[in-house]
Structure 1
């Protein structure tokens, strides 16, 4: 199979993770009635998913480095397919929550495997462009899930939605089985499976900076998504359908930014580019704080700029990480994803708790944290190491 087709194939495997997370969000009331339970109980089936998805990033990284990409991706994704059957057959909310957790455990392999396989297949400029394709499809997942779920659920019901997901995921697994080669070689073998592989990225000069940046960006991004409805209701008294359109600029621009960001690395050195894009992303948060209360159109523009600058930086981050840690590429990716998804959860929780102080105060605090992160990145990317200082002495 051609390498470009492989990039789309493994990126689709990663797409299933965020897509499944939000798939039945519009159908929560219908699902609560079907299972004869409360809305809060059904909401727990959504909330439990990212917790297991994040934790499994740490597990799959070393396993992919030890046992190979193809084998672990096929095993993990088949586990997800089987768990989807359990979701479709669930008669109680307890069963639904359990099988949703099992879904997350299985499908989490996709995001780690995709980045790792792309890192195996490409180097230099081609790697950056391919990472852009990956990030584009992953960014589509959480936005496309509710759209597909709402349409299918409205016309055919929530039961048919889960069985359709099973049919599609099983078909995709068969395509993986037939078309996915093994890209793991002794050159990138991480050796025996040891727990310390999972912390190697945190001890790495560049790796830690990438993890810190990604964590802060995801905390800001998901805090904004959670608080945006409240901001719109208080400031503009919008209807639910009107609010829905305000989420579009972020999603669309993240996708566009991911496509462009992968190609920008062909013209600008990756570390310099990432630092510059991180500065722009920080400034977009400040722009949101200053302009959000002026008008709906200006608010939409500020959201679009935030989404664009975030999307531009994401493929650059994972390209640098793959370049810097070739011998433990999957482990490093797993740790990176773990911290991003953890802060994706922590950020909104903290943001909701401190919302009483006003969203402008909250996001100004994020700006200050971002400034500290930028200085930390600069010192890690371009500061002198202990070895260089000792040689100069």
Structure 2
């Protein structure tokens, strides 16, 4: 049976009234709709004393202003008769500036100062004054750079480098590729290959907080007889940037294995006592009684060179007031002993705010005098520190009863 044509379909009886469609009359801008808009604009004008702005941030005002601009361009006679306040004439007199319009070159600000100095911009000073931030001029010239310098005590490491190179050549030790973005945690005694040189982690200083993340200052000895003292984060980045970087796997199965610390060299070091030169009102009055106790294997002056950028040093320069040499003693153990010994003199309320707004509580500062540290250092050398304690009330080192 052939399919019916459209003419045949429409010729059939419409028993359900599907074709009886009544079209709604189209609204006209010159009709009642325009008058209704005029009434809305009139109410807006009476309330605010102005016409609605088509560029307003308020959505309803922007919508009303846009529609009004369109119908006011060619108003009908009915709209003119309904305009009792003369808003159509007022619209023609107003020349509004839109953010969509092109601006003159003279109106474009040259700097942020021009913007903030604009009389029409009311900005509170607290919003544009930075706090706890090092000025850019000072950041451009850092106090300390982790440059390569000759290693003065390289004779202590030369044999270790030779042994490690022989082990790598024979296959006794394995150097594995460092994958990009790998999280590396260098420890004292670790070996790496960076830029074709063996790099040995001789020292990992006390923990510090930088930008909310834990960091350390390293002492890295290289097989060419040089050394550097980068931050652990910087050293980690240099390894990730070097496509040929390798990490030398340690001996043993873990920290409990006797062979795990085979590569670690026991270096003599220096106990140093530092006084803060901070101008912070909370620290300055205490500068003559508040001292930092630290231990390092590198040159003390180089260790404190970047003090003003290091939260461990209260983000301020320091003055070294005393140093005491160590002989055949573990630096980390000596430092832990001293910090535990003077724990009663540690200020619990001491904290600083770093440039990222984080509160940091350095743990290496104490209300002691350099003479106290000298006495404790001598007791450590004599193996008698455990027989004494620090009395906070009398501010003296006394024998345990």
TM-score range, shorter chain: under 0.3
* Structure with greater contact order relative to length (CA < 8 Å, sep ≥ 6): 1
State TM-score, norm by structure 1.
0.22
Structure with max Cα Rg: 2
Higher helix fraction (1 or 2)? 1
